[in-house]
Amino acid sequence: MRQPCMTPNRQMLVATLSALACALSLGTTQGARAQESGPPSETKPAAHIDDRALGAALCPIVYQVDRAPSAHGYRYLFYGNAFFINKDGYLLTATHVLSQLHGVQPYVLLRARTGPPSFVQANVVALDRDHDIAILRATPNPFDANSAVSILQLAPGSPTHGSSVLAAAVRPIKPRNSYTLDPAIEERLPGEVTNFEFSQLEKGRADTELVLFSHTVQPGQSGGPVISLDSKGVVGLVEGDWLRSDVADAASTTEHPGAFVPVHYAIALLQQRGISWNAVSENSRVTQQTPDRPEGFSPPTPLSLVPAPYPVQSLFGGEVLLDVLVGRAGAVSNIKVVRGEQPFVEKTLAAVHTWTLSPARSAGQAVEAHIAVVFQFPQPYIPPRSSTVHRYDEGPSSTTSRAALPLTTVEPEYPSADSGEGSVILYETIDHQGNITSVQTVRSIEPLTAATLAAAHEWRFAPAESSGTPIDSAAVIVVTFRRPLVTSHSSQ
């Protein structure tokens, strides 16, 4: 049985400046927490990262206390980190960093090319409280002024297990009594991705997939970027320390690994608000799709996807079939449940609402298009207690447009008792006859990926239709594995 996540433990703050000054914390979440104390972290820049540009993109989230300078500059209170994502002055941070201000106007502290640091008002543009993401905009735009600022690129693809990452932050030496002329500590936390865990960051909120990495998070680092050392792009935002010791890597000396929110959720919020962002060149795991042709059609392709958690109360698995309309901007604009039962439907809808895709194109123009989405939760038994093959009726023909419709789906076999758990995501192209023409891996976790691919080649589809006419289309297959509860006939 899975151990449930620990309950939230965020500190309750009073709405006075003195209490705010004492509330330095990363903010404890359900499953993730802030350290109350700890030694300074490593400050050595990681290899192959432009540390000067990284430092110029980081900025502290603060509250300006003094309105007139002293010999040490202006006094301020420090809460966490943010970083610039475009030259229009937009920044990303964690919502719980802002919540510590209790509605007081936040500022960012910026270094100038010449002269002392200065405060710039940071207006809240959008909040995703479910997934702890906030978008800010610095006003006036520091890129039009004398500030020493730069931007970071985002990497939509999910980091893989064992990949190297770097968490970056800047904080004053005396967070509770800081002055603008005091020196600051620039921190760099190298680590490896060790696990993926779903958690409700606040009670009653949607599930968020957190990425754990092998380094303890220090106070004040919340909201800072986590950068992939492979792509050099931001793959997440620092959340805190993971409370559950049972998921820590046994080979790691880190008692509580750090946790970060995947940048996926930030990209979804940016897309919803029509805010531009800069991506690393490898901005999609699916790069071999049908190229744009002046007179051809290419279906929507994944940009940033997350799976859904396996419902803890389910013992026998399930499957959800969705028809998803992808708009001209690539956002998910309509989701129809074709087949599925609770609690699986609720989990899958929450995940798909955060997806972002590159739109379909026809005659060189972005167009709306439907894609089929299947979430499969194989029952956690070896051998299974019932057939792993699901068959569905095509249903009556319609004059409206729809996605390809799965007619036969096959659950993959769990490779062995120690194959772990997690999610595999595949992207399939389907022609106007319903044939699968290509299968590509968007998210991999071996040896579960090989089993998923073997099963996917046995699937059958009815083709997508546009006003009753069969057309080419695509499907996204998400298979989430749970470790088997029973591993043999004799143990049942």
Q: Per CATH, which fold does 284-489 belong to? A: TolA/TonB C-terminal domain (3.30.2420)
What's the CA gap between 164 and 169, in Å, rounded? 17
CA distances from 60 to 64, 109, 358 (A): 12, 6, 33
pLDDT of residue 282: 54
Q: Which residue has the tokens 């996204």?
A: 476
What's the CA gap between 77 and 217, in Å, rounded? 20
pLDDT of residue 316: 84
Query: Can you read off the two tokens belonging to residue 432?
Result: 């106007």
pLDDT of residue 487: 54
Nearest to 163 by CA among 112, 225, 232, 95: 232
pLDDT tens-digit readout, 255-266: 689 999 999 999
Pairing of strands 369-377, 473-481: parallel
In the predicted model, residues of the chain with pLDDT beneath 70 are: 1-48, 244-255, 282-295, 382-387, 396-399, 417, 486-492
Residues in the chain: 492
- pTM for the full predicted model: 0.85
pLDDT of residue 405: 96
> For residue 53, what are the contacts with CB-CB under 8 A and spacing of at least 6?
150, 152
Distance of alpha carbon 133 from the chain centroid: 10
Query: Can you read off the two tokens belonging to residue 455?
Result: 């099963």
Q: Dump strand ranges (E) for 58-117.
A: 58-64, 75-84, 90-93, 107-110
Q: How many CB atoms lie within 10 A of CB 317?
A: 22
Backbone angles phi, psi at 335, to 5 degrees: -130, 125
CA distances from 225 to 64, 133, 179, 262, 315 (A): 23, 12, 24, 10, 37
pLDDT of residue 1: 25
pLDDT of residue 254: 54
Distance of alpha carbon 194 from the chain centroid: 16
Is the separation of the CB atoms in 355 and 156 below 8 Å?
Answer: no
Pairing of strands 32-33, 258-262: unpaired
- Under DSSP, the state recorded for 112 is B
Q: Please, is 229 exposed, middle or buried when counting C-beta atoms within 10 Å of its C-beta (0-12, 13-18, 19+)?
A: middle
Q: How many CB atoms lie within 10 A of CB 228?
A: 22
Give, for 32, the enclosing helix (H) or strand (E). Answer: strand 32-33
Is the separation of the CB atoms in 375 and 348 below 8 Å?
Answer: yes
Cα 322–Cα 325–Cα 331 angle in degrees, nearest 5: 115
Q: How many CB atoms lie within 10 A of CB 479?
A: 26
Query: Can you read off the two tokens belonging to residue 400?
Result: 């409206």
Domain ranges of the chain: 17-266, 284-489
Is the separation of the CB atoms in 172 and 78 below 8 Å?
Answer: yes
Residue type, 307: P
Residue 190, preceding peptide bond in cis (omega within 30° of 0): no
Distance of alpha carbon 297 from the chain centroid: 29
Pairing of strands 473-481, 422-430: antiparallel
Q: Per CATH, which fold does 17-266 belong to? A: Thrombin, subunit H (2.40.10)
pLDDT of residue 305: 95
Topology match between the domains 17-266 and 284-489: no
Residue 225, preceding peptide bond in cis (omega within 30° of 0): no
The three-state DSSP-derived secondary structure of 45-74 is CCCCCCHHHHHHHEEEEEEECCCCCECCEC
Nearest to 345 by CA among 354, 355, 336: 336
Q: Which residue has the tokens 């003195």?
A: 18
What's the CA gap between 195 and 209, in Å, rounded? 10
> For residue 346, what are the contacts with CB-CB under 8 A and spacing of at least 6?
none
Cα 319–Cα 320–Cα 322 angle in degrees, nearest 5: 150
pLDDT of residue 69: 92
